[in-house]
Structure 1
Amino acid sequence: MTEEPTVTIAGRPIGRLHPPFVIAELSANHNGNFDIAKKIVSSAKASGADAIKIQTYRPDTITLNSNSEDFRVRGGLWDGRTLYELYEEAHMPWDWHKPLFQHARANGITIFSSPFDCSAVDLLEDLNAPAYKIASFEAIDHELIKYAASTKKPLIISTGMANAEEIAEAIDAARQGGCTDLAILHCVSGYPAPAHDYNLATITDMISRFGLVTGLSDHTLDNTTAIASVALGASIIEKHFTIDRNGGGPDDSFSLEPVELEELCKSSKIAWSALGRVNYDRKPSELGNVQFRRSLYFVNDIEKGTLITGDDVRSVRPGFGLAPKFKCDVVGKVARRRILRNTPVTGDAF
């Protein structure tokens, strides 16, 4: 039997033998307010998330300050915005990182980040980040992957927009960088993404194809897709999280609110528990109902020495007699004792 892959983040083992690791993605939902960022962290903990994830970049480390058409978003949530404007608004100031890490640790929730360039990795290393997440848009940036991997910290790579060859190349880059604790996330990089785009069957193929801990970065608007993914082997679930979906930030509109995150944390763990293992044994919750299965009962009084006929025996509930499959073994036999109607068929009767 092949050993199940496992990664460990901040002492928490992650893999199919363990409950799903739920990550609340803070992203840009702080809306430029440090107090909101802190509230999101505290609320993620209260809702049952295993971790809160942030994003570490500055607008100049992720794009160029240009008004040309190449750098302008067309369509979708951010239509008309330049990339620099968008990331200037959305980024988390670097001087927030240390106090936010302290706040998360004081609240007892794991915090880590997606670095978007090597200087971000350096900042996060100074904060002793326990893991790194490579965002889908950066999954083709092998230099960044190798640099993050060189920290020897656990690495999660999101695979939105990447084909199978690009995923394999990203994995190779992580291995070349020295990563031994590696996970990948199936993802659709639409904001929001329709459930029918997710093709969750891909998760089972990713598990068999790449042999890694595999999860889901879910951009759908509810929890159905994420919960369904657990039954297919997803060991990590990442969802964007906000205090208020109507908060007006770049990512608020497709993020979960606290009640929804709490439901995701509970339901995903129930789904994992229900998945269990291959088991044909009688379950503890069934034991009290075994007596109500069908069995063979005599429906007529039968004198000793009399031939038992088909009319004398029926398959009925409860289950204290022989199993119905033995009816043919009973019919045609001679009663060895006097038999009373409405009594179970037992081996000593014939």
Structure 2
Amino acid sequence: MLNNYLQARCYIIAEIGGNFTNFEQAQRLIDEAAECGVDAVKLQTYRAETVASKLALFDMENTGVVSQYNLFKTYEIDEELHHKVFQYIASKKLDWFSTPSHTDDVDMLEKFSISAYKIGSDDAVNIPLLKYIAHQSKPVFLATGMCTMQEVHDSVNAILEAGNEKITLLHAVTSYPTHPENVNLLAMQAMMREFPALAIGYSDHTLGTTACICAAAMGAKVIEKHFTYDKKAPGPDHLLSADPVEMKEIVSKVREFEVMRGSGIKRPADSEKNTRINNRKSIVIVNPIRKGQVIGEQDIIVKRPGYGIEPKFYHQIVGRTANKNLEVDDVLMWGDC
């Protein structure tokens, strides 16, 4: 499935990292995500010692002012739990991968033959890590929160220089939660213009479903959304995560949009074949006309149905001679005059 995500179907990722600390919680999240119809489930792979110093603070709406080290320490998961969770995701026929935060995390994930890497916005300009991940020759999903366009170019170039062209850029806003006035989905389309050879998607931190659905309608090839079974559960990300009702809505609305999007060719829909005949208009006789009589403007009108001579030929019909007797409401055909 992962190899096909650049096709017409939008690739939808349920991010569960940070929303569980044991296998039972992860299992519940995975079961719910599978039921919602997502394509992939993603984790976060970090150790507090290598992701944040003890001086680093969070100061966001979803956390308040707290120690980053302490929060990461609470939600880091060990290698054994990674393995069990990955196996369980695979058993549900879903794709699985993770966001590493350090080269040690990458080395551990490689033990599981991971299929792709997500790079969080915090590491979007961490060139040494980007190159290390790129050298693994796996697809890379690069979140671009907090980035300028030049920084995105720098990061993309670093990955390309490492020999990896399998890059998907994700527009993101690193505010938890992100409020509507800050979403800036046009920036996603700006990246589409700036990087026409790359797939572009959206990693969401808003409350609700609207931003994800709009992003898909604006061309996102990938949608990533945090996922929870309970928005009130302990932990910083549950509040801004989609619950099962919301994730089902995202998946169903995006899939509905994909059907509605169609081929892009302007032509009558299959469902219009009959209505095109019945509801279009033709040139119709309003006065009886005898064979050999010249048809005058007073003898014809434009009205339904649409299987006769088209209205655009109205003035060419005036002055022609009838080839047969024509009665009121006869739909004029080319053989008739």
Q: TM-score range by the shorter chain?
A: over 0.9
CA contact (8 A) 1:322 1:345 kept: yes
Q: Pick from 231, 234, 237: which aligns with 1:245?
A: 231
Output one character per residue of 1:83-108: Cα deviation in whole Å (capped at 9) or x when no partner.
11221223333331011111111121
- Is 1:13–2:4 an aligned residue pair? yes
- Is 1:89–2:79 an aligned residue pair? no
Q: Pick from 65, 85, 92: which aligns with 1:100?
A: 85
CA–CA distance in structure 1, aligned partners of residues 155 and 262 of structure 2: 31
- Is 1:227–2:213 an aligned residue pair? yes
AA paired with 1:59?
Answer: A
Output one character per residue of 1:16-75: Cα deviation in whole Å (capped at 9) or x when no partner.
x33011000002111x33211111112111211110000000111111123xxxx23335
AA paired with 2:307?
Answer: F
2:289 aligns with 302
Moved more, 81-90 or 274-283: 274-283
Q: Pick from 110, 117, 127: which aligns with 1:125?
A: 110
CA contact (8 A) 1:28 1:92 kept: no
> What's the CA shift for 1:233?
2.2
CA–CA distance in structure 2, aligned partners of residues 194 and 288 of structure 1: 47
Output one character per residue of 1:272-297: Cα deviation in whole Å (capped at 9) or x when no partner.
33334431233222212111211111
Classify the secondary structure of the residue corresponding to 2:74.
helix
Instruction: Please give the TM-score of this superposition, normalised by the length of structure 1.
Output: 0.91
- How has the CA–CA distance of structure 1 residues 118 and 75 changed in structure 2, closer, same or farther, with 3 Å as cutoff? closer
- Is 1:57–2:46 an aligned residue pair? yes
CA–CA distance in structure 2, aligned partners of residues 313 and 128 of structure 1: 76
CA–CA distance in structure 1, aligned partners of residues 211 and 65 of structure 2: 30
Output one character per residue of 1:238-273: Cα deviation in whole Å (capped at 9) or x when no partner.
001011112132101111111221221222122233
CA contact (8 A) 2:62 2:239 kept: no
CA–CA distance in structure 2, aligned partners of residues 151 and 336 of structure 1: 79
- Is 1:109–2:98 an aligned residue pair? no
- Is 1:72–2:62 an aligned residue pair? no
2:34 aligns with 45
CA contact (8 A) 2:290 2:322 kept: yes
Classify the secondary structure of the residue corresponding to 2:176.
coil
Classify the secondary structure of the residue corresponding to 2:219.
coil
- Is 1:29–2:26 an aligned residue pair? no
CA–CA distance in structure 2, aligned partners of residues 225 and 312 of structure 1: 58
Moved more, 263-272 or 184-193: 263-272
Output one character per residue of 1:121-150: Cα deviation in whole Å (capped at 9) or x when no partner.
011001111110000111011111111111
CA RMSD of aligned residues (A): 1.7
Instruction: Please give the TM-score of this superposition, normalised by the length of structure 2.
Output: 0.94
CA contact (8 A) 2:283 2:314 kept: yes
Output one character per residue of 1:173-207: Cα deviation in whole Å (capped at 9) or x when no partner.
21223323111111111112123322222223212
Moved more, 51-60 or 218-227: 218-227
CA contact (8 A) 1:14 1:213 kept: no
Classify the secondary structure of the residue corresponding to 2:97.
strand
How many aligned residue pairs are there? 335
2:255 aligns with 269
CA contact (8 A) 1:56 1:114 kept: yes
CA contact (8 A) 2:175 2:205 kept: yes
Q: Pick from 305, 312, 327: which aligns with 2:299?
A: 312
CA–CA distance in structure 1, aligned partners of residues 158 and 252 of structure 2: 35
CA–CA distance in structure 2, aligned partners of residues 311 and 170 of structure 1: 73
Q: Percent of aligned pairs with the same residue?
A: 31
AA paired with 1:45?
Answer: A
Gaps in structure 2 of 5+ consecutive residues:
none
